[in-house]
Amino acid sequence: MRKILAISIPILLVLSSFTNKEKLASYLSEIYSSERVEEIVANPELAKYYNNVLFNSYSFEKIPSEKPLNPEWEVLTSVNMVNKEKKHSVSSINSLVKALENDYFNILRYQLERNYDTKKIYILGNTRTVLHIKPYTYLTKLQQK
């Protein structure tokens, strides 16, 4: 039994790493050329940085209707997006919320402000979904780990 575990755990770690690299490459390919994606994925520091930006630099939550929303939070009614060809478009808040809820939100595609040392908080339209964009200082700490 221990031999099976000793063999299974490294295999799972390798498969998990492969899956993470594939997901990272997939998200990056929505914004960058294939050459740039290969360059990022091949460089451990760049890969770590983009992995942190894409998967660890934001969070979201649904605020219950009985809880008041903070009036200081910015309300987004739409958000600008960019693609690999650097063409800009506007995304509806409903499609942004759907992307968040279904785990295919690519923060690199959305033109959202990120503060240097404080969390930027957006209320997404009238959905009571709140998006927290973590600051640059948080990304720096993640990169140093």
pLDDT 10s digits, 17-73: 434 889 999 999 999 999 999 999 999 999 999 999 999 999 999 999 999 999 999
Q: What is the pLDDT of residue 85?
A: 80
Average pLDDT, the chain: 88
**pTM score, two decimals?**
0.81
Look at residue 115 and tell me whether its pLDDT is greater than 80: yes
Q: Is residue 92 over pLDDT 80?
A: yes
- 31 vs 82: CA distance, rounded Å: 8
pLDDT band at 1 (very low <50, low <70, confident <90, very high): low
% residues pLDDT > 90 (the chain): 78
Asked whether residue 84 carries a pLDDT value surpassing 90, the answer given is no
Q: Is 4 exposed, middle or buried (0-12, 13-18, 19+ CB in 10 A)?
A: exposed
Across-strand partners of 92?
78
Q: Which helix (H) or strand (E) holds 123?
A: strand 120-124
pLDDT at 39: 97
Nearest residue to 127 via CA among 87, 100, 89, 106: 100
